Amino acid sequence: MNSTSNINELRTSLELLKKAGKTIGLVPTMGNLHDGHINLVKESLKKNDYTVVSIFVNPLQFNPNEDLETYPRTIEEDKEKLLACGCDFLFIPTTQEFYPETLYPHTQVKVPGLSDILCGLERPGHFEGVCTVVTKLLNIVHPDNAYFGLKDYQQYLIVKKMTKDLMIDTRIVGLEIVRDSDGLALSSRNGFLSDHELQKARQIYHSLQKTAKRIYLSEAKFQDLEKLAHQELLAAGLTPEYFVIRNSESLKSATPEDPNLIILVAATLGSVRLIDNIRISLADHEAIE
């Protein structure tokens, strides 16, 4: 595995491969890799000639009161996992390499509308930071395909729209959520939770499943189902930021006429913020996650 923190070095290597007609896959990460990340890497390795994994804890997507300094950094363990699955290139830029002049002010990329709701409301500026760093990575790597986990579903839609609007010639691929045996979505932040808190966190997926079933089996209004799930999370010891039923393409409030829905949740346990979702098809009457 070729490992570098130098942009020009990576570009030179990849340009030679592109000239030889090879396809490139990109998996952008912030490190502390788990099976969800490795699933993205394996898919990229399967579908492309070469795969680049980036590890960069991007300060531009963290608000001042968030966990930038304490975000888990496990670079040696990450390297071992990537070596084991056959990754070709590891790109580990420093903050100085990515933001050589200053972090603020810095040119930022914004996707209006989609970035201003849900997690965008709770974390102002977050998606501008995500879009800026992803744009940088796409401009450096010029991948044919870039892989994102659908746990961050809003992020996935935003990145897809960004690449379409800016005419970036990279296919954005979303892969399904990887869960533990009890349904908890894998996340780097799960490592901050105690065993007791992990049990509480599993209520998130249970509430998503219950709400999906209620949509199929009852004629209750979506708003009433959202409120019920909100109460269930509170009773389980979580603090919900939102629990909503939306159109899975636009993220607008869902109506009974929408064929494809997504149920999204963000909740905190202490200082740990967790997100999850389930997509369902009313046409097929089954979960499509």
Annotated catalytic residue 142: no
Quick one: three-class SS letters along the chain?
Answer: CEEECCHHHHHHHHHHHHHCCCCEEEEEECCCCCHHHHHHHHHHHHHCCEEEEEECCCHHHCCCCCCCCCCCCCHHHHHHHHHHHCCCEEECCCHHHHCCCCCCCCCCCCCCCHHHCCHHHHCCCHHHHHHHHHHHHHHHHCCCEEEEEHHHHHHHHHHHHHHHHCCCCCEEEEECCCECCCCCECCHHHHHCCHHHHHHHCHHHHHHHHHHHHHHHCCCCHHHHHHHHHHHHHHCCCEEEEEEEEECCCCCECCCCCCEEEEEEEEEECCEEEEEEEEEECCCCEECC
Active-site residue (options: 34, 37, 196, 206)? 37
Tokens of 104: 């603020």
Active-site annotation, residues: 37
